[in-house]
Every structure is written in C-alpha cells, then in structure tokens.
Structure 1
Amino acid sequence: MNKITLGSKEVANYQTPYVIAEIGANHNGDMELAKKMILSAKEAGADCVKFQSWTPTSLVSKEEYERNQTYNDSKKKHFGSLKEMVEKYALTEAQHRELKDFCDSHNIAFASSPFSKEEADLLNRLNVDFFKIASMDINYIDFIKHVASFKKPIILSTGMATLAEIEKAIEACRSVGNEQIILLHCISIYPPEYKDIHLNNISMLQQAFNLPVGFSDHTIGTSIPLASVALGSCLIEKHFTLDKDLPGWDHEISANPEELKIICTESKNIVSSLGSFTRSVSEAEENKKERFRRSIVIKSNLPKGHVLTREDLTAKRPGTQIPPNEIQYVVGRILKTNMEEDSLLKWENLI
C-alpha cells in the first residue's frame, strides 16, 4: 500500500509530508501550556499535535522507580525523581478529552502514543485518526496486535529495531487485518550524532517493505528533517516546545515555533522542487535560450567569396542564429556577402 489517509490528508512517499508536532510530555503537566503549544503548532503549519498516554502504573515498574532511572541523553537537570516526573507528566482521561476537544475546535489533529491497552482503548474512544507505536514497543507484539485491531492507521517507529523486528511488527498488524501501516525511520538517541542518523535507511525501508516511510527526528535544528523530505519521507515527527530551556525530558532537543514553521514551509518547497524523473526543459528555460546561449560569430572582416575555416569563427551571445554545435556545417562554406568583424553569421550569408 503506497498511500495512507490520516484524517483528511493523504500520506505517501514523495508527497508533502504530514507534520506531527510531538508535544509528548513537554506540556510539563500544565494544561494551559499544552493549549498554547497546540495553538503555536497550528500557526506554524503542523498537521497534528501528538502527546503520550501513560499512567504512573502502566509504564514503569516499582523496581525501575526505586532505581530512579533516567531516559534521555540530556544533561539538563529535572525537578525531581523519575516517579515524581511520571506522575506530573501523566495525562488523566479527562485531560485527554479536554485536549482532544481543544484540537478539534482549532482544526488540528490530536494524537497520542499509548503505552498500555487501556490507554489505546481510551484513544480509540476519542476517535483519533491514527495510532503511533513508540520505538520501545516494536517488539511488544501482543500490544501491537491490540492497537492494530482497531483497524485505524498504525505508525510504527523503528528506533533500536532490527529489520527482523520491524518485519514481525508489520506482520502483527497484518495478522489482525490491518494493512494501513506507516514506518518511521528513527534513531532513539537525544540527540544522535550525524554519523549515526543514516537517512538512507528511509529509501531502504521503502524498498524493503513497500510501505510509506517517514522520519521521527531527534536532531537539533531543521536541516536533517528537511533532508529526509528529499528522500521521500512521507511524514515528519519532530519534538516541539515553546522554550528549549524549560525543565523536562525533551525540551532541549525539540523544535521551537520558528523551527517548526521552517520545517512545515520548506518541506513543501522541497517536494515541489523534486519534480519528475523525466528530463524536460521548462517554458521559462526555453525562453532564456536566445539570451543565454551563443551563435557563431565572424572573428575578423572577411570578403565575399571567402572559404570559411575554424580559425575564422568563434561563438558569442545571443543564441539567435547558427548554434556553435553546428560549426561543422559552416566550415568549408563560401561567404555570399562581405562580413564585418564580430558579426553573427546567418545561413543566408553562405553560398
């Protein structure tokens, strides 16, 4: 399947990419901040804002809380323990509904990554346009089957995954009758080094699985997600914040409103500029030929009856008379008229 519909937008390789502003937990547990981010993402041109759905008990075990694990590569200090952050950043069912209603009222798609079957069920009740499976769950086959059973488009992020694991996740979706699958090339480092990004994997995944392939980006700035568009990326998922200096997991590697607008605007320009594999000359270029190309020119004064040699000839603008690639048809011909230095040679000047 080469095209998937997310809401009202058709998504396909080498088309204008669907842009997801990944708010994730960057709302920091503040609903007013979340709403400001939604409006800012909409203004920047994003198609969708995406959150993350978990509860303090659905994602992290007691042992992990006691170990107080950290999950990002940032050196930014956080406000408290892992458990305190998870509790603060978790969205309640009522908050999910509030954010979904807010997005609907402002004509931007609402989405979220579920981390348990119960959260997937909640999102299904909210009638989201699609489901996103996070990279961490690429091998959580039972969960993938449960989410895929809703028969809505599935976006599979492939960070940390082997080709075999990706294939099994795709098979899990198809085993419950869901063929609406989009893959995301992803490097689960925040941020990755450039040498580890391997954007060519986008083309590889397109060929390997014959599916739409997008890019889940964790780099700093806009250049890498925009580069992915030139490789046919059908979707760009970019972490989003209003302020990169806010405390929290992902603000530091997120796009701010100005950067998100660049991604949304320039991705359209890139797709438009890719054009066709067929070589053609535009009408605008055709119109420039006479001004920019050259014609054969006489190098010095020559009399009528002179037999032309290559030494008599050069080529200069404009390209309105005999083109230089036809000089072989001029050499050896006899002048019908006297010719002045630096004049354009015409066919009617020749016997």
Structure 2
Amino acid sequence: MSAVRIGTREVGPGLPVYTVAEIGINHNGDVGIAKRLIDIAAQVGADAVKFQKRTPEIATPPEMRDTRRETPWGEMTYLDYRYRVEFGLDEYQEIDRYCTELGLAWFASPWDVPSVDFLEKFDVVCHKVASASVTDRELLAALRDTGRPVILSTGMSTMDEIDAAVEVLGTERLVLLHATSTYPCPPEEANLRTIHTLAERFGVPVGYSGHERGLQVSVAAVALGACMVERHVTLDRTMWGSDQAASLEPDGLRRLVRDIRTVETALGDGVKRVFPGEQAPRRRLRRT
C-alpha cells in the first residue's frame, strides 16, 4: 500500500497519524472565530484544519430552501441561513494567509462543482469529499480532475456506493476515512473494524472521521491502524450550530493529539525484544 502525499506529509500505514481539526461551519460565519480555532489547532500540534465550502443555491436541497429556521441572527429561511454562515473570497484569503503564517495546512469539503473551482484558487493541500457527497459523480469527477489528493469520507454509505465513488476517483491519490454519520455517534455505531475492511478492499490509506463524544473511540481507531484522524473542533460545545455538540473543545483536541502520539509510540514495530528497562527485573526475578 503506497502512502499519499498531503502537503509536506506522507500519509499511510506506519507513518505518523495525520491529524485534522475540522472547523467546518463551527465558525458561524465569523472569520474571527475561525482564526481562534486555527490558533487552537496550531497550538495543539494538529497537521491541518478543514472547512466546508458550498454554493448555497446549488448545495441546498430545493425542498429545504424556504424552510423557516430560528438562528442567532433572527428567523430566516434555510437558504438565507446557508448564505449567512458561508465564507467567500475575502474570508478564505484571510484564512489562507493566516494558516500560512502559522505553518498549518488547510483544505475544505466542496459540496458542488463551483466550490471546487473556488478552492482551486488557493494552493490547498488536498480536497475532501463529505459523506453526503459520496454519490455525487459530477463532483467526484471534478475533484479527480484537479490532480490533487482526495480524502473520501464513507459515512452513511453502502459498500456499493463506496465502490462506485472509488471507481470515479481512482486510487492513486486517495485516502478513505471510515465514518458513521450519526451526530453524536454512540459507540455501538462506531464499527471501527471497518478500517481494516476498507484497507483490505481498496489498498489505500484509511483513516477515521469521528463524530462521537469523548476521545476513546478516536484513539482506538489509531490502535486499529487509522492513518488519519479528523474531529470537529469548537470553542464551546454549547454554541449554536448543528455540529457543535459532537465537536471537541480546545482541551479535548489537545488531549486527542497527545494521546494519538502516545499510542503511535506504544504500537512499536511488532518485533519481540527485551527492552533496556526489562534488564534489571530480568536479572533480579528470573530463577533459571
């Protein structure tokens, strides 16, 4: 299985886990909040931050557009809400500049073809396919044609749907993420052994995109071989927004990155040996 190069990093089995702090839309349309979340990701040692990019009039389902929604900015239609939280060129230029200053990679999940074209204005390290877009063949083809690495989340997808998506994308620059699109995800739906299933089936690096509360499941994914871990990050889980409750607060993200690095070290190389720290007990305790 070949590693996939994302920015300055190689991602694959036996390599350091690539950690992604998903900001998504947890910025609530405020670039100041986005920059605070970028700061947190950089401080805890995450490898990248991720956003979501939509063209609201395309990405919003027609039956949802006129639905009224209560928001912190008053009642509005769902389409108006999508516009309210969407970043444009000015905001992404600021994000690009800020991440570059901090030495932090960034990328996004485009939800439609114009959003792919928008992100291509920046030197993003890769593109991400959200689980909701696995069956959007037009979008998949546009992402493939950029020539950039693609990360494909597999939540709420059947194996046949994943097969079809991989057929469009190809496997040369592909990373798959096992995911369960329940927010928050209970442990009994995490199904982490699927990491092995996907790796064996497709022969590409496989990671984990988690939506659970807490850290245990994400850390266990690393022990099972996940080469990338993505978790949503927020300033406060009680903030308004659909992804906030299943996100990690700053200290949670710090502990996750710390624990991932500890597990990486603890996994070792699989070669049985007597370690230096065992020599004294060996001499003291062995009778024969």
Same fold? TM cut 0.5 = yes
Q: How far, CA to CA, are the matches of 1:127 and 1:58 in structure 2?
A: 24
Q: What TM-score, normalized to structure 2?
A: 0.94
Residues 183, 246 of structure 2: 8 Å contact kept: yes
Q: Does 1:101 align with 2:94?
A: no
The residue type equivalent to 1:199 in the other structure is L
Query: Residue in 2 aligned with 1:202?
Result: 195
Alignment pair present for 1:153 and 2:149 = yes
Does the CA contact (< 8 Å) of 1:16 and 1:267 recur in 2?
no
Q: Matched residue of 1:125: which SS?
A: coil
Number of aligned residues:
285
| Alignment-derived partner of residue 134 in structure 1 | 130
What whole-Å deviation, never above 9, does each CA across 1:124-143 have from its counterpart, x for those lacking one?
A: 12010000000011111121
| Partner Cα distance (1:242, 1:32) in 2 | 12
Q: Contact between 1:187 and 1:197, CA under 8 Å: does it hold in 2?
A: yes
* Aligned-pair CA distance for 1:225: 0.6
The alpha-carbon deviation at position 284 of structure 1 amounts to 2.2
User: How many Å separate the matches in 2 of 1:215 and 1:29?
Assistant: 27
**Per-residue displacement from partner, 1:155-209 (whole Å, max 9, x unpaired)?**
00001111111111111012xxx61000000000101221111001011111111
Matches of 2:273 and 2:35 in 1, distance apart?
A: 47
2:79 maps to 1:83: yes
* Cα distance between partner residues in 2 of 1:119 and 1:60: 13
Task: Tell me if the contact between 1:158 and 1:166 (Cα under 8 Å) persists in the aligned partners.
Answer: yes
Match of 1:55 in 2: 55
The answer on 1:40 being equivalent to 2:33 is no
Judge conservation of contact 2:185–2:211 (CA < 8 Å) in 1: yes
Structural mapping, 1:1-351, within 5 Å: 1-68=1-68, 78-79=71-72, 80-81=75-76, 82-174=78-170, 179-293=172-286, 295=287, 323=288
Question: Does structure 2 conserve the Cα–Cα contact (< 8 Å) formed by 1:14 and 1:229?
Answer: no
Query: Which one-letter code corresponds to 1:125 in the other structure?
Result: K
Checking the alignment, whether the CA contact within 8 Å between 2:140 and 2:169 is kept in structure 1 is: yes
TM-score of the aligned structures, taking structure 1 as reference length: 0.78
In 2, the alpha carbon distance for the partners of 1:104 and 1:290 equals 54
Contact 1:26 1:248 in 2 (8 A): yes
Structure 1 gaps of 5+ residues are 70-76, 296-322, 324-351
Structure 2 runs not aligned, ≥5 long: none
Greater shift, 232-241 or 78-87, is seen at: 78-87
Q: Percent identity?
A: 32
For the residues of structure 2 that align with 1:107 and 1:186, how far apart are their CA atoms?
28
2-structure distance, mates of 1:14, 1:215 = 15
Alignment check: 8 A CA contact 1:14 1:233 kept? no
Report the residue type matching 1:43 in the other structure.
Answer: Q
- d(CA) in 1 for partners of 2:68, 2:92: 27
In the TM superposition, structure 1's runs of 4+ consecutive aligned residues that sit over 6 Å from their partners are none
Q: Would the aligned equivalents of 1:55 and 1:91 in 2 still touch at CA under 8 Å?
A: no
RMSD: 1.6
Rounded to whole Å, the distance in 1 between the matches of 2:218 and 2:51 is: 20
Larger Cα-atom Rg: 1
CA contact (8 A) 2:153 2:177 kept: yes
Higher relative contact order (CA 8 A, sep 6+): 2
Give the match for residue 74 of structure 1.
Answer: none
**Superimposed CA distance per residue, residues 231-285 of structure 1 (whole angstroms, 9 cap, x where no aligned partner):** 1111111000011111112111100111111111111110111112332221321
Distance between the aligned counterparts of 1:8 and 1:50, measured in 2?
A: 16
Distance 2:147 2:55 in 1: 24
